Amino acid sequence: MTSDMRGPGTTRPANGKRGALSFACIAAIASLASGCVIEWPLDPEPVPPGVPVPPPPPEGDTRVVWELIGDGGQSCFASTDDAAPFAVCAETFNDGDPVYGFLRVDTSYEVRDLDFYDLCGGDMEFFDFGPYGLEFYWYPNASSGERCPLNLSVFSYDDVGRDFLLEVGFGDQPPPQKGAYWELFHSEGSCVGEPDSAELSCNAEVRPGDVVTGLAFFEAGTDIRGLGLRDTCGGELLDVFTDHRGVLEFVWQVPMTRGCELALMVVDEGGQASEHSVRVPMAEFVAPSVGPWVEWDLRGSGVRCSAVAAADGSIACDESFVAGRSTELYVQVHDEDAQVKSLELVNDCDGGWLRGISEVDSGEYEFEWIPPSEARAECALRLRLENHDGTVLELPVGVSVALPGSGEPELDWDIDDAQAGSAIGFSASIDWNGPSGDYIVVSSCGGEMSLTPGARELQGVWATPQTSGTCELSMFLFGADGRTHVRPVEMQLE
């Protein structure tokens, strides 16, 4: 995934002259997602007829040198690169003081454009810029004790973007914690989070059902082998990009629920896995315009399914519940017009039974569902609502039932040996032998990956490293039973 994180207010010099400063680029950065984009060259010369178009430059290394000087005499000199794209200023700056800054970009490829902004809503004034350097005054919007990251995105002509961050502190504060930094952009606004944040800070809540573009960065130097992402509420990851060094970009389909956490899963060089979670502030679900609607929440054997059903459609759980294992089921009926007279939950799964039905609160019911003792590829639980006018509304939730597995998932890789410095497609099929879990794909030799993850199937494109030799791809499988399994495949880069 080559995610362009530039905000809607981005501008480029419009006068067609190299090195000329655009007045729009000097304008203040007014929001988290806004920035100043410098594209180089501005107007490339057309290729004459009959002259072959040269291929894009090959991939290579990127290094960004940072220099900041505060009005109070503070200074910060730092360097970031592909292996360590995040740095922290050792010295803190005075809050309210402007900061002079200079950036230099060293690359082995041609730069198409740059995107530079802060994540605190500060203002920028640019004095000089080019494809490989920036000179600016920064007027940060940060108070004493706060930290503010500066973000530089470097784009090559193959549309691959690399993000580099420098975190700047203000006033007296403790040293930064290692962990996950978050950026989310959604239809209503944006969110940010730091390693010690239990919940994202948003200028607007995320709407259920929205599609969110996000970035997670893990500060740990070069000791990372792989990154992965999961949510706790049944959403869908539509696209994932990771550089296997600390950066993970993603597109996330938010589920129709009210509470959710995102968790960044990290595997270090020693093969140890850790998880770094943050709550996502969610707006309330907007009820259908006509008739009652229902919230479902099913939990059992490490599997959870949460969804919303209304009269205009049915829903289905993506995960399989374990045959014969007790599953808790919560149903919240929203009936603002008091149309519902009675309700009944029906088991349409050809086996199994319901028990322990109780109303725990007004309109909220708790059930225990024992799934059939045999596997069911497709069946349903159906809520039958009878209204006072005699009409009946049926709201089903589709479920499936799997036999208890051996606990040892099986993995089938589909990948061939490849050239170093090339892009190859691959896939993997996962048989969890029970309820599905989460997974991370890691590489022993680096390279960038764009992934389309599914619960039981993975599609991906791997931009292999430039160095030839033996390389091992591994999938870390985190089962619903809490155990971790590793399934490697060895391949040769020629």
In a domain, 2, yes or no: no
CATH code of the domain covering residue 222: 2.70.50.30
Same domain, 490 and 464: yes
Structure tokens, 359: 């109303």
Same domain, 361 and 426: no
Instruction: Tell me the sheet residues that pair with 293.
Output: 334
Three-state DSSP class for 68? Answer: strand
CA distance 107 to 156: 10
In a domain, 5, yes or no: no
Same domain, 216 and 314: no
CA distance 343 to 347: 13
Which of 286, 315, 345 lies at the terminal end of a domain, its last residue?
286
Q: pLDDT tens digit string along 344-399?
A: 888 888 888 888 777 666 778 888 898 998 888 888 888 888 888 888 888 888 88
CA distance 324 to 302: 14
- Is residue 116 within 8 A of residue 161, CB to CB? The reply is no
Helix, strand, coil % in the chain, rounded to nearest 5: 0, 55, 45
Q: pLDDT tens digit string along 83-139?
A: 778 888 878 888 878 899 989 888 877 888 888 888 888 888 887 766 778 888 999
In a domain, 16, yes or no: no
CA distance 170 to 175: 11
Same domain, 65 and 158: yes
CA distance 114 to 133: 9
Q: How many CA within 13 A on the CB side of residue 43?
A: 6
Please tell me whether the overall predicted TM-score, pTM, comes out greater than 0.75 for this model: no
CATH code of the domain covering residue 438: 2.60.40.10
In a domain, 7, yes or no: no
CA distance 258 to 306: 10
CA distance 116 to 103: 10
Question: How many structural domains is the chain composed of?
Answer: 4
CATH code of the domain covering residue 92: 2.60.40
Same domain, 351 and 462: no
In a domain, 3, yes or no: no
Which of 175, 204, 233 lies at the terminal end of a domain, its last residue?
175
Q: With a cut of 90, say whether residue 258 has pLDDT above it.
A: no
Residue 250 pLDDT level (bands cut at 50, 70, 90):
very high
Longest dimension (CA), the chain: 79
In a domain, 51, yes or no: yes
- Its domain, for residue 282, covers 177-286
Which of 340, 372, 402 lies at the terminal end of a domain, its last residue?
402
Same domain, 324 and 393: yes
Structure tokens, 355: 């028990």
Three-state DSSP class for 42? Answer: coil
